[in-house]
Amino acid sequence: MPDDLELVTRLGRGDASALDAIVQAHQDAVVRFSRTVTRDENTALDAAQEAFIRLWRNPKAFNGGSLRAWLFTVARNVALNEFRAGRRRTARIERVEPPPQPPTAEQQTADAERLQQVRDFIATLPEQERSAITLFAAEGLSQAEVAKVLGTSEGAVKQAILSARRKLRERFGESS
What are the sequence ranges of the domains in the chain? 4-85, 105-172
pLDDT in tens, 109-140: 888 888 889 889 999 999 999 999 999 988 88
Query: Architecture of domain 105-172 in CATH?
Result: Orthogonal Bundle (1.10)
Asked whether 128 and 36 are in contact (CB, 8 A), the reply is no
Type of residue numbered 166:
R
Hey, which CATH number is domain 4-85, 1.10.1740.10, 3.10.20.600, 1.10.10.10, 3.30.390.30? Answer: 1.10.1740.10
Question: pTM of the predicted model, to two decimals?
Answer: 0.58
